[in-house]
A and B are shown apart, each in its own frame.
Chain A
Amino acid sequence: MLFDSYKTDGFFDEMFGNGGGDAPRDHYGQIWDRFSVMNDEELQGKKGALDRSFLVNGITFTVYSDNAGTERIFPFDPIPRIIPPSEWETVETGLIQRITALNLFLYDVYHEAKIVKDGIVPMDIIESAEHYRPEFKGLNLPNDVYIHICGTDLVRDDKGDYLVLEDNGRCPSGVSYVLENRAAMKRTFPRLYGNMNVRPVDDYPLQLLQTMRYVAPHGKTDPVCVVLTPGVYNSAYFEHTFLARQMGIELVEGRDLVAVDGHVYMRTTKGLVHVDVIYRRLDDDFLDPTVFRKDSMLGVPGIVEAYRRGNVALCNAIGAGVADDKVTYAYVPDMIRYYLDQDPILNNVPTYLAWREEDRKYILENMESLVVKAANESGGYGMIIGPKATKEEIATFRERVKATPRNYIAQPVVSLSRHPTVCENGKAEGRHVDLRPFVLYGDRVRVLPGGLTRVALRKGSLVVNSSQGGGSKDTWVLRSSLGES
């Protein structure tokens, strides 16, 4: 049957390995019971039903730099990932601690920069970060929030400890898949889902809306909120439409907005409507051609002026990217100690900064065994995995690191945990997974229970990005029996 020839191959396996043996872990008991009795026909039937529901609902994404059909269904694996309550508490509290420190850091960087004066973070690291916007120093934002929505990528190492791989503090995507995956799983495995006491995710759009309303300018109680999308060619366009629809607010493109005299308005069939809060799924660079890139056709001329005057709020704030820079990342544990006087609950992956001379030497000498990443890229672009890279790739990266050391970091290869995943032969095999939980920073900090589990579908691959052939799984965080009484 499904798990007949399953091997953990010495990796940390999410489902198997109870007490060091090969038995399923306790919290996977019901999953084992349900899936191990399934015959091929039933499994294919379930899988077919899931794929069809994604296709029918148009849950697709766009792959850049691919000239063939660019719209794809996001591949989905039917075996859900289960997170027991005690494990989730660590993840949740660790994320709350982290986003809090990041927001305090951003406030500080754009005001007094005490953390620099006290010698914790070097000024040149901040000044050389691509997304640092010194022109916004001294600007006060509603409730001092910079990162309202954060998607933090977590991995588990060979001991099963959760590590933070990166913070996505600009425009993290993927939350729509979390919600759609859940809807599809509930339809396909209604009884299993019902029996396992899983924490729901469907109130995310409502909480996102509350997060936006919390930062409304001038404390307005009934603000007009919108989602600003770059348009249909963006890889996450589906998500933009999904979130706008779920929140019941307008989805706008740059050309639908107009900025007049320090205020932003939306063109509607009934005339201009004042806009207060914008969830922008558009990088800083494209926001306003008068301030940033002049060739941007996506932005709104004058929007930055309105933002400066405090008449419109942007989620996330302009310049928040200085916190998710991969070099700044290395300093997050220090920020947690400085602003909160605590040790980090979730640790970083050990990181070498090419910017430091001794680290650079180490990187250049050991590139074959390291993961090297560009500091400001995302989505799995601009990186190489040493052990899997060709000689030419390594040579190119060596030159790039030497030329612009500030732009590169390196990390040891973390042997990501694996999860049983249904393969083409109808058997379950271990595939590497990561986890992207979504954190909202509003009136309270809220972490969506679970998040997007991404699977590297190719055997042995460590790259889970959807743009690089990854798939996803539904993530079930179980309720603690205690809290319910």
Chain B
Amino acid sequence: MPTPPSPSNSDASSLAEILAAVEQGESIVHGSPDRQQIFRIFHRTVYTYGEKARRSTNEVRLTPKENPWQKVTFFLLTIRPATHVKQFRDLHGNNVHHFEITENHSRLVIEAQSIVRKTCKVDFEAFPYGSPMDALRECRRIDHCHEFLEPSHFIEVTPDIWRAAVDARGLSEDVFQTAYNIMTFVYKRFGYVPGATHVGTSAMEAFKAKSGVCQDFAHVMIAMCRALGIPARYVSGYLFDPAHDDLRGTQASHAWVEIFVLGRGGWFGLDPTNNKVVDEHYVSVATGRDYNDVSPARGTFFGGGAHRTLDVTVSVDRAE
């Protein structure tokens, strides 16, 4: 089990320093520019309908995000049957494709392919320690943090979740350390059991069941972070497994958590399903309060019959 370097006293900054850094737009950024990767990602979703479906309206969130650690050099979304496609940005800055299929169809194919250049935001030699738990109340006043402290569609803070969060925190006074402890807590106490939950399982249900898949791990960890006042958001994306060492979540799309570390560079990714700090092998696609904000494809249609199937293929490869 990898243990992070623990925060030393010299890391701790005064609240004033932290707030000054926030004023400057979270300019403290670590990172390891030498850890570069280029990935080719292919994601195909096929819906088949027993009877003809018609008047289908859909929203798709499949474009990898652009940020200083992630450059999308190519993206292509193919919809079959062929139709007119339009894009827009949603509230959380995710890229959304919208399309309608008016004619009768028995199959809908959504194919996304991309080439992404990745580096790593977090510096593995120096984790973003030094943001004290005491300073968290400041987060409520920051616009883009507020909604990630509130309850959302799948996530509510129950007394049980709060109790577990306090236990997981231990004696930590540091935001990143606390979040790390929560990640490890979830990783150790929860069973990775595909099929134990479904796409509509809430954080509370998963918490009770003590098992689930990456979506549930992420939901529970977010709930625990929010319980302690750490802004936490849901990230959907892809995970490349460089050593084929049985990382969970590489077979399909993956999900993890980002927490806001005030004064230390903003959002950092933690993956409770694999107990890993997010590195250059993670490609983020969409962020939101929980799964409900980021689902890769959602829509409505008429007809289709009772017999429907869904087939998803995901591959992440290093580009030549």
Contacts and interface: CB of A to CB of B under 8 A. Distances in A.
A65 B115 CA distance: 47
Contacts of A100: 76, 78
A364 to B, nearest CB: 36
A105 B76 contact: no
B80 A479 contact: no
A392 B318 CA distance: 57
Interface in A51-78: none
B78 A107 contact: no
Given A89-B115, A340-B76, A484 B83 contact: no
B73 A89 contact: yes
A316 B245 CA distance: 42
Q: Which of A111, A199, A340, A479 has the most CB of B within 10 A?
A: A340
A144 interface: yes
B85 A96 contact: no
B278 to A, nearest CB: 19
B319 interface: yes
The size class of the interface chain A forms with chain B is 20 to 34
A105 B80 CA distance: 11
Given A114-B83, A339-B84, A341-B86, A479 B320 contact: yes
A295 interface: no
A93 B113 CA distance: 10
B82 A114 contact: yes
Contacts of B76: 93, 96-97, 100, 340, 342
A20 interface: no
A122 to B, nearest CB: 17
B87 interface: yes
B265 interface: no
Interface string B15-38: 000000000000000000000111
A104 B86 contact: no
Interface string A450-485: 000000000000000000000000000001101111
B38 A482 contact: yes
Given A97-B76, A483-B319, A341 B85 contact: yes
Interface string A321-355: 00000000000000000111110010000000000
Interface string B67-99: 000000110111111111111000000000100
Nearest to A345: B74
B106 to A, nearest CB: 9
Contact of A484 (B74, B80, B320): B320
Interface in A95-111: 96-97, 100, 104-105, 107-108, 111
A345 B74 CA distance: 9
A93 B117 CA distance: 14
B192 to A, nearest CB: 29
Given A93-B73, A480-B38, A341 B97 contact: yes
Given A104-B78, A111-B103, A484-B320, A339 B115 contact: no
A357 interface: no
A98 to B, nearest CB: 10
Interface string B306-320: 000000000000111
B84 A338 contact: yes
Interface in B214-261: none
Contact of A144 (B81, B103, B115): B81
Contacts of B185: none
A483 B317 CA distance: 10
Interface in B90-121: 97, 102-103, 109, 113, 115
Contacts of A479: 320
Contacts of B37: 482, 485
B82 A108 contact: yes
Q: Which of B82, B85, B86 has the most CB of A within 10 A?
A: B82
Contacts of B267: none
B190 to A, nearest CB: 34
A340 B81 contact: no
A112 interface: yes
Contacts of B127: none
Contacts of A41: none
A114 B97 CA distance: 18
Interface string A267-311: 000000000000000000000000000000000000000000000
A118 interface: yes
Per DSSP, are chain B's interface residues mostly helix, strand or loop, or mixed? strand
Nearest to B315: A444
B162 interface: no
Contact of B81 (A96, A111, A199): A111
A444 B77 CA distance: 13
Contacts of B103: 111-112
Interface string A71-95: 0000000000000000001000100
Interface string A393-409: 00000000000000000
A115 B73 CA distance: 28
Contact of B318 (A97, A115, A483): A483
Contacts of A97: 76
Contacts of B49: none
Interface in A411-449: 444-445, 449
A96 B113 CA distance: 10
A107 B74 contact: no
Contacts of B85: 338-341
B87 A107 contact: no
B320 A107 contact: no
A340 B62 CA distance: 13
B154 interface: no
Contact of B320 (A93, A341, A445, A483): A483
B78 A341 contact: no
Contacts of B109: 144
Nearest to B35: A485
Contacts of B187: none
Nearest to A478: B320
A483 B103 CA distance: 43
A243 B319 CA distance: 27
A328 to B, nearest CB: 15
B82 A104 contact: yes
B320 A339 contact: no
A207 B85 CA distance: 30
Contacts of A118: 84
B35 to A, nearest CB: 10
A485 B119 CA distance: 14
Nearest to A477: B320
A93 B74 contact: yes
B121 to A, nearest CB: 18
A93 B78 CA distance: 14
Which 7 A/B pairs are nearest by Cβ-Cβ distance? A104-B82, A93-B74, A108-B82, A107-B82, A483-B319, A341-B85, A483-B320
10 contacts: A96-B113, A104-B82, A107-B81, A108-B82, A111-B82, A114-B83, A144-B80, A144-B81, A339-B82, A340-B77
Given A108-B81, A112-B102, A341-B85, 11 more contacts: A89-B74, A93-B76, A96-B113, A107-B81, A118-B84, A199-B320, A338-B85, A339-B78, A341-B86, A483-B318, A485-B37
